C-alpha cells in the first residue's frame, strides 16, 4: 500500500504541488537567485546558471565560476513526501572569453529515493559577429543534455499489477512499471541581445529534440518544446526583468506563464554586498506564485536564498519551496587585471620602484586638515624636501607643529628632518651626480621611515666617494636615530627592484667593485632620481647606456619603459617592459610587469588605429560599473589601497554621480591618511 501511494503521488504531483511541476523534466528552476526573481532569468543570464536558463549568457562571463544549489519543495505536504532538487555547474571562459565559454552541469530531481530525474549538461556560448548589421552585441549558445529518469523500490507492483477490480494479478507484468529506466538525448538553445548599455533581450528554447521520455518506448510521452522570451533593464546594482514562457501543460496543450522580477544590490566597501529580490508569476490553469530572495557577496564568494510560494493549486499547509545556493568565482576579472596594470602605469614609481617615497601628508593628511594652515605647511615641506631643501622643509614642519603640537606624526617627521638638515641643509646636483643621487634617494627613504633602504643608499654613496666626511656623518646620524649600532659601511648591491641582483659571495680579493660596476650602479641611481624629476629623456639616455654594458639589466629596461610610457611612446614602452620581463627573476616583479604589459597592449592597438583620444566615455554599461566597483572592493580587501583608489577614481571619471564609488574613494583616502604621516 505504501508503494502504491507513492505511485499515486508521482502521477498526481503536477496537480497537487505546483503549476510548474507538470510532468518529467519540468522547468522548476535551479538558481536560488533566479527563483527569487520568479525565474525570469532568460534576459538576465549573467552567471554560470546560464547552463540551465540561457546558454547564450555564458558568453558574457569574464572568469571561471562554480555554482551549486539545493532545494526542498513544499515540506508541508500532508503525505510527508520529500521532493528535492540539486544542481552543480561550472563555466570556463576560453581565452578570457574571446573564444567563448564552456559550461558543464548536473541537475537531479528526486522523490524520496522512489523516483528521480537527472540531467547532464554540456554548454557553449559566444558572441556572434553581426558584421555591423545590428547595433550592440549579440550572443548565442547551445546546451546538449543527457537525460536519465528512473523508478525504484516498486516491490511487487510491477510483477503483480492491480487489475480493474483492484485485485492484484500475479500472472501478468505491468507494461509501464516493468520499465524502470529511460534515457534520452536533448538540446537547448538561446540568444541574448544587448542593443544598448541598459537593455538586454533574451530568447531560449528547451527540449529542441522533443524526445520520447515514456518508460515504455511503445507509448508516446513527448517532452514538448518550450519557448521563453525575456527582457531586462539594468542600472548599476539594480535589475528589472520580465519574461513570457510558452510551455506544455499537464493536459498536453500549450500554456503560458508571465513573470516579473526585480533585484537590488547594496554594495559596501568593507562588509560585502547584500542583495534583495522579488518576483510574481501568473499563467494558464489558474497558476499564480510569488517569490523572494536574499544574497550576500563577499570577496569571490556569493550565497543565495530563494523562496517560492504558490497562491493557487496547493494546500496552504505546504510551506513553499526554499532554495539555497553558493557560487565561487576564480581568479581576477579582466576589470581587476586591467585596472591593476593601469594603476601601475599611472604610478610609475611603484612599478619601477622609483619615484622616491613621498610625504603621505600630501594626499592623506590634507584630507584630514583640508585647507587649514597645517596642511599648507606640510605641503610646502614636502615640496621643499623633494627639491633637496631640507633646512627649509624643517622650518615648515616646525611651523606646522606650532599649530598642532600634539601630533606625533609631525614630531617624528621633525626629528628626521632635523637629522638631515643638520648635515645637509640643502643638497644640489642630485640629478646629475651619481654620488648625490644615491644620497638623495637614501635621505628621502629615511624621511619616509624606511631606514633599511636609506642606509643602503647612503652606504653606496660612501662607496663612490670614500673620503667625503659629510656622507659618513650623515650615515652615523641616521643610524643613531634608527637605533642601529655603528658599523662599517658595506657596499650595496640592491636587488632587481633597486639595482642588479648581487653576485654570489666571492673571496675578499675578488669583491672589489670594478669601474663598470660603479658606472652601472651610479647610472641606475641617476635613472631613479631623474624619473622622479620627470626628466624622461635623461632616463632613456642613461638606460641605453646601461643596457649596452649590461644587456640583461631588468631594472634598466623597466625604468626606460616607465619613461617611454610617460612620453606616450607606447610601442617603445611595450618593448622595454618585454625586455624587463625577459630578464626579471623576482615573481612579484614579474606579476607587475605582466599586468602593465596587458594594459599597454590595448594602448598600443588603439594608437596604431589612430583612435587613442583623451575623451570622456559617452556611456558605460551598468555591468561595467558593477565590475569596476567590485574590482575596487577586491583591491581594498587585499590591502592594495593605491590600486583601489585608482579604480574608484576611474569609475567616477565615467560615472561621476555614482554615490557608492564616491563614498568608497573617500574611505580609501581616509585610510591612507590614517596609515601615518610618511609612506
For residue range 33-50, list pLDDT tens digits in order: 999 999 999 999 999 999
144 closest CA partner among 233, 88, 208, 221: 208
Instruction: For residue 13, give Cα distances in angstroms to 2, 22, 35.
Output: 16, 7, 20
Q: What is the mean pLDDT of residues 359-370?
A: 39
Task: Tell me which H or E stretch contains 368.
Answer: helix 365-369
Q: Using the predicted structure, report yes or no on whether residue 12 has a pLDDT greater than 50.
A: no
Domains of the chain, with CATH numbers? Answer: 2-162+169-331 (2.40.160.60), 354-496 (no CATH)
The pLDDT, as a whole number, for residue 161 is 56
Angle at 23 between CA 187 and CA 177, to 5 degrees: 105
Average pLDDT, the chain: 79
For residue range 177-232, list pLDDT tens digits in order: 555 788 999 999 999 999 988 999 999 999 999 998 887 777 778 888 999 999 99
What is the per-residue pLDDT for 202? 97
Residue 253, exposed/middle/buried by CB under 10 A (0-12, 13-18, 19+)? exposed
CA distance 141 to 190: 5
Instruction: Identify the band that residue 506 occupies on the pLDDT scale cut at 50, 70 and 90.
Output: very low
* Block residue for cell numbers 658606472: 519
3-state SS record for 137-187: EEEEEEEEEEEEEEECCCCCCCCCCECCCCCECCCCCCCCCCCCEEEEEEE
- Comparing C-alpha atoms, which of 380, 341, 346 is closest to residue 361? 380
DSSP 231-287: EEEEETTEEEEEEEEEEE-TTSSEEEEEEEEEEEEEE-SSS-EEEEEEEEEEETTTE
Confidence of residue 555 (pLDDT cuts 50, 70, 90): confident
CA 620 → CA 342, 443, 534, 634, distances in Å? 18, 45, 33, 21
Q: Which one has a higher pLDDT value, 234 or 653? A: 234
Reduce the DSSP state of residue 211 to 3 states and report it.
Answer: coil
C-alpha grid cell, residue 305: 536564498
* Residue 71, pLDDT score: 92
Residue 210 to residue 512: CA distance in whole angstroms? 83
Residues in CB range of 562: below 8 A, 6 or more apart: 348, 351, 352, 354, 531, 539, 573
If one counts every other C-beta atom within 10 angstroms of the C-beta of residue 188, the result is 24
In Å, the largest CA–CA distance within the chain is 118
Please tell me the distance from the alpha carbon of residue 49 to that of residue 54, in angstroms, as a whole number.
8
| Prediction pTM value | 0.66
- Residue with the bigger pLDDT between 667 and 605: it is 667
Cα 441 to Cα 458: distance, rounded to the nearest angstrom = 8
Of 97, 100, 93, 89, the C-alpha closest to 66 is 89
Is residue 154 classed exposed, middle or buried when 0-12, 13-18 and 19+ CB atoms within 10 A define those classes?
Answer: middle
Contacts of 654 (CB under 8 A, 6+ apart): 616, 617, 620, 624, 625
Beta strands in 300-422 (DSSP E): 301-310, 321-329
Cell of 296: 550576500
- Nine cell digits for residue 289: 506564485
- In a 13 Å sphere around the CA of 46, the CA atoms on its Cβ side amount to 18
Counting Cβ atoms within 10 Å, is residue 70 exposed (0-12), middle (13-18) or buried (19+)?
middle
Place of cell 543534455: 145
- pLDDT (0 to 100) of residue 507: 41
Per-residue pLDDT at 599:
79
Three-class DSSP category at 585: coil
- The DSSP bridge partners found for residue 275 are 265, 295
pLDDT at 354 over 60: no
Q: For 235-248, give the DSSP string.
A: ETTEEEEEEEEEEE
As a whole number, mean pLDDT of residues 104-131 equals: 91
User: Between residues 566 and 52, which one has the greater pLDDT?
Assistant: 52
Written as nine digits, the cell of 228 is 521563453
Who's near 277: CB < 8 A, 6+ residues apart? 33, 36, 37, 261, 262, 263, 264, 292, 293, 294, 295
Give the total residue count for the chain. 679
Give the residue-averaged pLDDT of 133-150: 94
Asked whether residue 494 carries a pLDDT value surpassing 50, the answer given is: no
Residue bearing the bigger pLDDT, 178 or 411 = 411
Do residues 375 and 414 make contact, with C-beta atoms less than 8 angstroms apart? no
Amino acid at each position: 500500500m505504501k508503494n502504491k501511494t507513492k505511485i499515486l503521488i508521482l502521477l498526481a504531483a503536477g496537480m497537487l504541488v505546483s503549476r510548474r511541476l507538470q510532468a518529467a523534466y519540468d522547468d522548476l528552476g535551479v538558481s536560488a537567485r533566479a527563483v527569487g526573481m520568479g525565474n525570469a532569468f532568460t534576459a538576465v543570464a549573467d552567471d554560470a546558471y546560464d547552463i540551465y536558463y540561457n546558454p547564450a549568457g555564458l558568453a558574457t562571463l569574464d572568469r571561471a565560476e562554480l555554482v551549486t544549489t539545493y532545494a526542498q519543495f513544499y515540506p508541508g505536504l500532508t503525505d510527508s513526501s520529500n521532493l528535492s532538487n540539486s544542481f552543480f555547474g561550472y563555466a570556463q571562459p576560453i581565452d578570457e572569453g574571446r573564444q567563448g565559454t564552456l559550461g558543464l552541469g548536473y541537475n537531479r530531481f528526486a522523490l524520496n529515493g522512489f523516483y528521480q530525474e537527472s540531467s547532464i549538461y554540456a554548454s557553449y556560448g559566444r558572441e556572434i559577429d553581426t558584421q555591423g548589421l545590428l547595433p550592440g552585441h549579440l550572443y548565442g549558445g547551445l546546451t546538449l543534455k543527457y537525460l536519465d529518469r528512473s523508478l525504484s523500490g516498486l516491490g511487487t507492483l510491477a510483477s503483480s499489477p492491480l487489475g480493474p477490480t483492484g485485485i492484484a494479478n500475479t500472472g501478468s507484468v505491468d507494461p509501464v512499471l516493468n520499465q524502470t529506466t529511460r534515457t534520452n538525448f536533448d538540446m537547448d538553445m538561446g540568444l541574448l541581445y544587448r542593443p544598448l548599455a541598459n537593455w538586454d533581450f533574451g530568447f531560449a528554447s528547451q527540449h529542441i529534440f522533443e524526445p520520447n521520455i515514456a518508460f515504455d518506448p511503445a507509448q508516446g510521452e513527448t517532452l514538448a518544446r518550450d519557448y521563453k522570451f525575456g527582457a531586462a533593464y539594468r542600472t548599476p546594482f539594480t535589475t528589472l526583468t520580465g519574461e513570457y514562457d510558452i510551455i506544455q501543460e499537464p493536459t498536453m496543450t500549450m500554456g503560458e506563464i508571465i513573470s516579473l522580477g526585480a533585484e537590488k544590490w547594496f554594495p559596501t566597501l568593507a562588509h560585502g554586498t547584500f542583495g534583495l529580490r522579488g518576483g510574481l508569476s501568473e499563467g494558464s490553469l489558474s497558476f499564480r506564485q510569488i517569490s523572494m530572495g536574499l544574497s550576500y557577496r563577499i570577496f569571490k564568494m556569493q550565497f543565495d536564498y530563494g523562496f517560492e510560494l504558490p497562491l493557487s493549486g496547493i494546500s496552504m499547509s505546504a510551506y513553499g519551496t526554499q532554495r539555497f545556493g553558493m557560487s565561487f568565482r576564480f581568479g581576477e576579472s579582466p576589470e581587476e587585471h586591467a585596472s591593476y596594470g593601469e594603476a601601475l602605469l599611472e604610478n610609475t614609481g611603484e612599478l619601477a620602484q622609483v619615484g622616491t617615497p613621498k610625504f603621505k601628508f600630501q594626499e592623506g593628511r590634507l584630507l584630514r586638515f583640508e585647507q587649514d594652515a597645517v596642511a599648507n605647511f606640510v605641503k610646502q615641506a614636502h615640496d621643499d624636501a623633494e627639491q633637496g631643501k631640507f633646512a627649509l622643509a624643517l622650518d615648515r614642519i616646525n611651523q606646522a607643529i606650532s599649530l598642532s603640537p600634539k601630533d606625533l606624526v609631525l614630531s617624528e617627521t621633525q626629528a628626521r628632518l632635523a637629522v638631515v638638515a643638520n648635515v645637509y641643509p640643502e643638497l644640489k646636483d642630485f640629478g646629475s651626480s651619481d654620488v648625490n643621487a644615491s644620497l638623495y634617494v637614501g635621505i628621502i627613504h629615511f624621511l619616509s621611515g624606511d631606514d633599511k633602504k636609506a642606509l643602503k643608499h647612503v652606504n653606496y654613496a660612501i662607496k663612490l666617494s670614500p673620503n667625503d666626511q659629510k656622507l659618513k656623518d650623515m650615515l652615523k646620524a641616521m643610524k643613531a636615530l634608527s637605533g642601529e649600532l655603528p658599523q662599517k659601511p658595506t657596499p650595496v648591491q640592491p636587488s632587481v627592484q633597486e639595482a642588479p641582483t648581487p653576485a654570489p659571495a666571492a673571496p675578499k680579493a675578488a669583491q672589489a667593485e670594478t669601474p663598470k660596476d660603479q658606472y652601472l650602479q651610479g647610472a641606475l641611481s641617476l635613472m631613479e632620481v631623474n624619473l622622479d624629476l620627470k626628466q624622461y629623456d635623461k632616463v632613456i639616455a642613461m638606460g641605453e647606456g646601461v643596457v649596452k654594458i649590461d644587456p640583461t639589466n631588468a631594472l634598466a629596461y623597466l625604468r626606460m619603459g616607465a619613461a617611454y610610457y610617460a612620453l606616450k611612446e607606447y610601442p617603445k614602452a611595450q618593448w622595454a617592459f618585454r625586455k624587463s620581463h625577459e630578464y626579471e627573476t623576482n615573481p612579484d616583479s614579474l606579476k607587475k610587469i605582466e599586468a602593465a604589459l596587458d594594459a599597454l597592449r590595448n594602448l598600443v592597438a588603439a594608437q596604431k588605429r589612430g583612435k587613442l583620444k583623451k575623451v570622456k566615455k559617452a556611456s558605460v554599461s551598468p555591468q561595467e560599473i558593477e565590475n569596476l566597483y567590485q574590482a575596487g572592493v577586491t583591491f581594498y580587501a587585499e590591502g592594495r589601497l593605491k590600486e583601489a583608489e585608482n579604480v574608484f577614481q576611474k569609475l567616477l571619471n565615467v560615472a561621476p554621480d555614482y554615490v557608492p564609488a564616491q563614498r568608497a574613494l573617500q574611505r580609501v583616502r581616509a585610510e591612507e591618511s590614517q596609515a601615518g604621516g610618511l609612506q
